[in-house]
Structure 1
Amino acid sequence: MTEATTEETLTGEPGAEPEPHRRPRRTRRLLAALGVLAAVGGAAAAGAGLQDGGSGEDRDDRRPPATAEVTRQTLRDSRTEDGELGYGTSTTATGRVPGTVTQLPEAGERITRGEALYRVDDEPVLLMYGAVPAYRELRPGAEGRDVAQLERNLKALGHDGFTVDDTYTEATADAVRQWQQDLGLEETGTVEPGRVVFAPAAVRVDTLDTEEGATTAPGQKVLSYTATAQAVTVELDTADRRLAEPGAKVDVELPDGTRVDGRVSEVTTEVDPGNGAEENPSTKVKVLVALDGAKAQQAAASYVLASVDVSFTAGEREDVLTVPVAALVALEGGGFGVEVVEEDGGTSYVPVETGLFADGRVEISGDGITAGTTVGMPA
C-alpha cells in the first residue's frame, strides 16, 4: 500500500495528515463481547490504557453524537418467563406382578403410604416411601438401603419387634407376615418384586396407561404419578441458565394476579434431537419451581393447570454507578472505558471496570466517575 492510500484510508482525503488520536470504536465486535459478559453475569474489565497508550487525558474537541448520564441505582439481573402450573415431573409405574388389573385409582387421586396404587388379581400393589426403587425380592439375609427403607415403612405403619437397620432378619420377616396378614396376602415373610412401589412421599395419580380387566406383565406401563404439591415448570434457553440456581428464590404471579413465593427445586438440561431437515437439534434448560409454604399452595389450589409468570433474579447490586451498555467503548490496550464529556465541550476516554449487566445497563467504576458524569453514546 502506498503512503497516499494509507492516508486516504484514515481520513477520506488524499494526502491529508492522519489524526494523532483515533477514537475507540463502538463496533459490533464490542457488542458481541458484551453479550458474552452479560451471559455470565458481567465481568471485571480494567482499562489498560487508551488506543494509543495514553492515560485518559487525551482530548477531542468533537462532541459525541449523543450523551447519557452516569446514574446511581440498584441494578438487578432479572427476567420474567412463562411457566406452567401443575404438579411437576411425572413418574411412570410399570407392572412387575403378572396377572389381570382388577382395580385402578382415578386420575387426580391422592395415594399415601401403605395404600394400594392399583390391584392385580385382586391383590394390592402398595405405595411406600423411599428413594431406592424396589428391584429385588427381600427376604431374611438381605442387606442394603432398600431393606432399611422397607423397615422404616413397616414401623411407620405400626409394625414392630425388629431393629430398623439395613439387615433383613427373622424379626423383620415376622413384621412382614403381620403386614401381609393385614392386607389379606399370603404370609410368606418375604416381599416379592413388584408388590411395593417406592416414592419419596405421597403421590397424585396423573394418568392411567391401562384399564381394569387388562392383563399386565413385567415392564408394562400401568399409571403415572406426580408429587401432591403444586409446582411450576419453566423452560429456559441455555444462555439464561444463570437465572436458575437450585435453591434460588423466585416470584410467581398466578392468573388472578396474586404473587406468591417460589424456590428453584430442580434444574435439568434436555436435548431435543429434532427431526432432521425440518427441525434442528435444540437444548433447553427445564426448571422446576416449588411453591413455598402453605399460603402459596392455598393460593394456587384453585388452578389444576394454568399459565403463570415466573420472575428470576440472578444477581443484584445496590447503590452502584451505572451507564447504558452502549456507552462502553473497547480500548485498544485492553478492557473498556467511557468517553467523558467535559464542561468545556471536550472529551476524554476514562478506563472503567465493569460489574453487573442488567436491563441494558452496566455497573461501572473508575477514576473521576461519579453520579451525574456525562458520557458519550452512539447516535
Structure 2
Amino acid sequence: MAETVVQADHEHGAAPAPPPRGRRGRRTVLVASALVVVAAVAVVGALGLGGGGSQAGSSAPPRSGSTVPVTRTTLTERTTVDGQLGYGTEIPLPVKATGTVTWLPAEGTTVKRGGTLLRVDDRPVVLLYGTLPMYRELGLAAGTRQNSGPAGDAEGSGDQGRTDETSGDPDPSGSPAPSGSPTPGGAGAGGTGRTLRGMDVLQFESNLAALGYTGFTVDEEFTDLTARAVKRWQRSLGLPQTGTVGIGDVVYSAGKVRIGHAGVRLGSPATDDVLTYTGTSRKVVVNASAAEDSWAVRGAAVTIGLPDGKSVKGEVASVGKSATAPEGGGGEDGPAAPTVPVTITVKDQKSVGRLESAPVTVEYVGRERADVLTVPVAALVALAEGGHGLETADGRFVAVKTGLFADGRVEVSGSAVREGMNVRIPE
C-alpha cells in the first residue's frame, strides 16, 4: 500500500524526494578531501620534502604569484638609536676672581674673545682664547727695570709702542725705547734679568695682539712693551692701568662660549660654580649601549633625523670612557644595560635650522656585505629538514644559506642559486 502511494505522489507532480542524507554527506567529504590534497601539495613544496636538490618538486605545477629576480648588490645594516640635540654638557667656567658678583650675562648669550663673562666687584672678567689656564699673575718681574718714558706714560697715557688702525705697523724693531728700558726678549739694562717667561705669556700676548693691542713682540717674554699694551687694554675696560694682569682678570677657553645657567645670584660671593658654559655649536649626545657601541668610533659618519623629518650629516667626535647605568634602574626585563655617552658634531650648523634643543634619531652603519646575491626577505621559505630555501618560478625548491639581513633583503648563497634567476614570493 505504501508503494502505491509513493507512485501516485510522483505521478501527480509531487516534488521528488530529496536524496538520502548519506549521499550529500559523501559529496561534502569529497570536496573537503580535494581541498586537503591541494593544500598538502603546497605544504609539501613549501616544506621542501626531498628539496635538498634542484629536482625536488620538479613535477609540481607552477602556481600563481609574483616573482622577483635574485640580484647582486651591497647590503648595509643600518641601526637607529635615540639622541638629544643641544649644545653639549654645561661645564663650570674656571673663574678665579674673588669678591662679590655684580653682573651676570643672560643664559644663552654668546661671548667672544675680549668679551665680558661677568663682573666681580664691578671689575670685568674677560674671555680670552687658549688651552692653558690662568695660573699666575702676569706682569714685569720683580727687579726688571720698567720704562717710565715721558711723563705719565707709566700709567698708560702715552701711545709709544702702540699700533692701531690709523698709525700703521710698528717699526720692525719695535717702538723706540728710551735709555734704560728693556729690549723685547731681554732684561732691562741695569736690571736683574728676571723677565717673566713662559707659554702662558705667549698665550696672553697672542690674545692681546688679536684684540688690536700691538707694539710688542709676541713671544714667551713679558717685557715693558707688553706692559704698555696691557695698560692700553686696561684703559679700554675702565680698569686701573697697572700693566699687570691679575689671575682673576681673564678666563681662557678654546673658542667663543655660550653662557649656561648661573650658580649664584647677584650679590653672592664668586665661587667655582658661579657660571657654566658650553660651546656655541649644536651637537647630539647619544647614550649608547656599552655592549653595542662598536659603531661609535671617532670620525665615523652618521645620519641625524630631525623632528621635522629632515636628515643632516653628523660625525662622532668623542666617546665616553666610563659606562653608567641609566637612572631609574631596570624594568620587567631586568636591570637596564649600562651606557656610554657618544657626542656627535654637526658640521653644517645651518642645516639644523633654529633648533637649539630637541629629541632626534641617529642612524649608523653596522655590518656591510659587498657584491653578494640577495632576495627580498619575503621570498624565504622554511625547509622541513632545517634551514631556508627559495621557490623557483617553475615550482622547484632549492636550499640556500642566509647571511646578512638589511633593508628588507637577505644575503643568500648556494650551489643552485645564481644571479638573475626568478624566485617566487610565497602567498
Indicate which of 270, 278, 300 corresponds to 1:216.
Answer: 270
* Number of aligned residues: 303
C-alpha separation in 1, matches of 2:259 and 2:246:
23
Aligned to 1:167: 221
C-alpha separation in 2, matches of 1:357 and 1:83:
25
Does residue 1:288 correspond to 2:343, yes or no?
yes
Asked whether the 8 Å contact 1:99–1:215 carries over to 2, the reply is yes
Q: 1:350-371 deviations in whole A, cap 9, x for unaligned?
A: 8x9x7x6756977577877644
Q: 1:159-185 deviations in whole A, cap 9, x for unaligned?
A: 112222333333323322221222122
Aligned to 1:83: 83
TM-score where L is the length of structure 1: 0.65
Q: CA deviation at 1:236?
A: 0.8
SS in 2 for 1:228: coil
Aligned to 2:124: 124
Aligned to 1:55: none
Q: 1:153-210 deviations in whole A, cap 9, x for unaligned?
A: 1111101122223333333233222212221223333322222111121111111101
1:246-257 equivalences in 2 (<5 Å): 246-257=298-309
Q: 1:244-303 deviations in whole A, cap 9, x for unaligned?
A: 222222222221212222222222233327899999796322122222225314x2x1x2
97-106 vs 168-177, greater mean Cα deviation: 168-177
Does residue 1:180 correspond to 2:221, yes or no?
no
Does residue 1:266 correspond to 2:321, yes or no?
no
Aligned to 2:207: 153
Call closer, same or farther: CA 1:229–1:238 in 2, change over 3 Å.
Answer: same
Q: CA deviation at 1:123?
A: 0.1
Aligned to 1:237: 289
Q: 1:83-103 deviations in whole A, cap 9, x for unaligned?
A: 111112322114321110000
Call closer, same or farther: CA 1:308–1:171 in 2, change over 3 Å.
Answer: same
Q: CA deviation at 1:119?
A: 0.3
Q: CA deviation at 1:340?
A: 7.7
TM-score where L is the length of structure 2: 0.58
C-alpha separation in 2, matches of 1:210 and 1:168:
35
Call closer, same or farther: CA 1:315–1:173 in 2, change over 3 Å.
Answer: farther
Would you identify which runs of 4 or more consecutive aligned residues in structure 1 move more than 6 Å?
A: 58-63, 273-281, 338-350, 359-362, 364-368, 372-375
Query: Which structure has greater strand proportion?
Result: 1
SS in 1 for 2:221: coil
Asked whether the 8 Å contact 1:233–1:287 carries over to 2, the reply is yes
Call closer, same or farther: CA 1:342–1:228 in 2, change over 3 Å.
Answer: closer
SS in 2 for 1:243: coil
1:361-372 equivalences in 2 (<5 Å): 370-371=418-419
C-alpha separation in 2, matches of 1:318 and 1:260:
25
Q: CA deviation at 1:310?
A: 1.7
Asked whether the 8 Å contact 2:281–2:349 carries over to 1, the reply is no
Call closer, same or farther: CA 1:273–1:315 in 2, change over 3 Å.
Answer: closer
83-92 vs 128-137, greater mean Cα deviation: 128-137
C-alpha separation in 1, matches of 2:270 and 2:262:
13
C-alpha separation in 2, matches of 1:370 and 1:238:
40
Percent identity at matched positions? 41
Q: Return 5+ residue gaps in structure 1 as ranges.
A: 1-57, 64-68, 328-337
Q: Which amino acid aligns with 1:240?
A: E
Q: CA deviation at 1:309?
A: 1.6
